[in-house]
Amino acid sequence: QKEVEQDPGPLSVPEGAIVSLNCTYSNSAFQYFMWYRQYSRKGPELLMYTYSSGNKEDGRFTAQVDKSSKYISLFIRDSQPSDSATYLCAMTSDSADGLTFGKGTHLIIQP
Amino acid sequence: EAQVTQNPRYLITVTGKKLTVTCSQNMNHEYMSWYRQDPGLGLRQIYYSMNVEVTDKGDVPEGYKVSRKEKRNFPLILESPSPNQTSLYFCASSPPARDEQFFGPGTRLTVL
């Protein structure tokens, strides 16, 4: 079981809004959770990394993990047009497996 | 500058003509990986390597080969490309924890 579900969007919000991006997963062995941002024609870049359950904050970004519900979230405060991109969640267990990615959510921040 | 480089960035080829996409990293990372990204399917892992001379299949290895003779290089080989291998390919590397992966800029491959 390696399935990760992520709404592809597009999600369009006005500048300054709080954005909530989410992923659900089925494999209870996943312990490491990441959010990547991918601009058009670029490779994914790591935004946030969390281990197990809880919250992690970095500037305008907050990553939240609820392992009991198998649900992770990324919140973006005071969203900017430069935040417009595709956001990919990714996760892995502590085994030798690679990352399992969601399909990505296309986010559009309207000026 | 710490980075992962891929070459070529764009390639159009024909069915059956062997090709190699190179990947190189300058961060002394042990772990390297190849992904393909397709609309509606997301990123899927093709092969990965935990260290020199150690490679293993990912989720979609059919039609691909890799080698890891040096720590910094991890080429992707398509012995006989087919149109269903038309995709955007990414190479990535990471330190031993394997979680914080750094991605290359991508190679857009079209097989006619």
Residue A98's pLDDT band (cuts 50, 70, 90): confident
Q: Name chain B contacts of A104, Cβ cutoff 8 Å.
A: 42-43
Q: Tens digit of pLDDT for each residue in A35-64? A: 999 999 899 999 999 988 889 999 999 999
Angle CA A111–A63–B43, to nearest 5: 80
Whole-number pLDDT of residue B112: 96
Q: Tens digit of pLDDT for each residue in B17-62? A: 999 999 999 999 999 999 999 988 889 999 999 899 999 999 899 9
Q: Which residue of A has its CA nearest to B103?
A: A43
Residue B90, pLDDT > 80, answer: yes
Q: Pick the more confident residue, A70 or A97.
A: A70
d(CA A46, CA A38): 9
Q: Name chain A contacts of B41, Cβ cutoff 8 Å.
A: 103
Is B58 in CB contact (< 8 Å) with chain A?
yes
Q: Tens digit of pLDDT for each residue in B72-81? A: 999 999 999 9
B100–A46 CB contact, under 8 Å: yes
What the block records as the tokens of A22 is: 């989410």
Residue A95, pLDDT > 80, answer: no
Across chain A, how many H-helices and E-strands are there?
Answer: 0, 11
